[in-house]
A and B are shown apart, each in its own frame.
Chain A
């Protein structure tokens, strides 16, 4: 479980997050949704410690994480896996080295064990036998999957995914969604997903947090979101022609 309490963040005069409190449950896919620029990435970066909040705190299972020196965060960091918006694979390394990277950094496993773990993770994302491919030889969907494999390599307890299916075709995007939600249940991970793709929201939104102009505007799940009376949320959900017609 991850809890954020009264988090605020501004850049200059611009208030990006205003007094946001939220809880993300273990073993569930927790979604953060909202328009572009509503502060989803910033909220995630505060959880992962890339950005410090101006006010407020972040807790990982009641262990404080925010406003601590890097050295004291190390233990929690080992339990985190992060999938960045663009994948953020290391382009000086091939697929295998990318996935093995967290293992090299955090574990004392033998090379053979690490290799087994890499193969297992790659198999999990349907990329067997791609070990030696260079990052530039991968398609967008493959990159995302390798990035997921890297994020789960060291058995994280907390998984953060920033727009895991942006820029992918609907089919690949469903595949990635399914993969993330399976992993979440299978290993009882606390998963947080940023998205503005309504299709994933309806499919994997076990817990949904709607950000609107830097505030946590609405909370619910994939069923209640379709019947919401909240005006701003309705605008977001039924923003496309397709969803309006279906309604």
Chain B
């Protein structure tokens, strides 16, 4: 276990260096943006709307108390979406998609000797392959999460409207009550940490595959499992650290 952590740190040390040729790095980065980022928009959009709607329904169901004003529903939904649903749940979903994608891509490159081919040419393969993935994730996942926050809140709005839980005016009023910008900063800090976990952990697992296609399959699962566990773990730590 300690050895794994050591190997991980060493790999990140190799990966996170200044690329020798910027033009090639930029090309890789654009490629990763497309293959990791653009393809994730749809799934994030769909999930966010539904999760936001469910959040609003749940809140309405649980605070069905005449003493609590209706605007509580909008308020609590907003807080939940900003602080937990979008940054954590969506990042775990992304860990499922991107983690397996990254781990199996690098694992395949390892077992088909594409990584050896890079090393033989004297290329720092970790830097060439992993760095663009990490940078791409650090840049686009926060964008996805902000997008998801808006859609999640909109999902709650739709739920209120269609299911007639409360009037949409009350919902919007709730949304605009007691807004603390720090919650958004908090969400973004979490997202950045989670993005790094997704990209680096699954890269580490894929890069170190040893064997054949069975091991690539296993690496792809491991990429998802380990990045999800670490996300939940760091969620706890960060929430404790930043909100208390």
Q: Which residues of A contact B (CB under 8 A)?
A: 48-50, 70, 73-74, 77-78, 80, 82, 84-92, 101-102, 104-106
Contact = CB atoms under 8 A, between A and B. Distances in A.
Q: Sorted from nearest, which 5 A-B pairs have the closest CB atoms?
A: A77-B122, A88-B113, A88-B117, A84-B113, A82-B120
A77 B112 contact: no
B113 A86 contact: yes
20 contacts: A48-B120, A49-B119, A50-B119, A73-B122, A77-B120, A77-B121, A78-B122, A80-B120, A82-B117, A84-B116, A86-B112, A87-B112, A88-B113, A88-B114, A88-B116, A89-B114, A90-B109, A90-B114, A91-B112, A104-B21
Contacts of A89: 114
A78 B121 CA distance: 7
B123 interface: yes
A50 to B, nearest CB: 6
Contacts of B113: 84-86, 88
Interface size class, chain B: 10 to 19
B24 interface: yes
A50 B124 CA distance: 12
Contacts of A87: 112
B116 A50 contact: yes
Contacts of B123: 105
Given A82-B120, A105-B21, A105-B121, A88 B31 contact: no
Given A78-B122, A86-B112, 16 more contacts: A48-B120, A50-B119, A74-B122, A77-B120, A80-B120, A82-B120, A84-B113, A87-B112, A88-B112, A88-B113, A90-B109, A90-B117, A91-B108, A91-B112, A91-B114, A92-B31
B226 to A, nearest CB: 24
A37 B35 CA distance: 39
B149 to A, nearest CB: 33
A94 to B, nearest CB: 13
Contacts of B21: 104-105
A102 B119 CA distance: 12
A104 B28 CA distance: 13
A48 B117 CA distance: 10
A112 B20 CA distance: 22
Contacts of A86: 112-113
B99 to A, nearest CB: 19
B14 to A, nearest CB: 10
A106 B120 CA distance: 13
A90 B121 CA distance: 13
B51 to A, nearest CB: 33
A106 B123 CA distance: 10
A90 B123 CA distance: 14
B11 to A, nearest CB: 15
Interface string B24-56: 100000010000000000000000000000000
A87 B113 CA distance: 8
Interface in B104-147: 108-109, 112-114, 116-117, 119-124
A49 B121 CA distance: 10
A83 to B, nearest CB: 10
A102 B114 CA distance: 13
A86 B213 CA distance: 14
A104 to B, nearest CB: 6
Interface string B190-212: 00000000000000000000000
A50 B110 CA distance: 13
Contacts of B124: 70
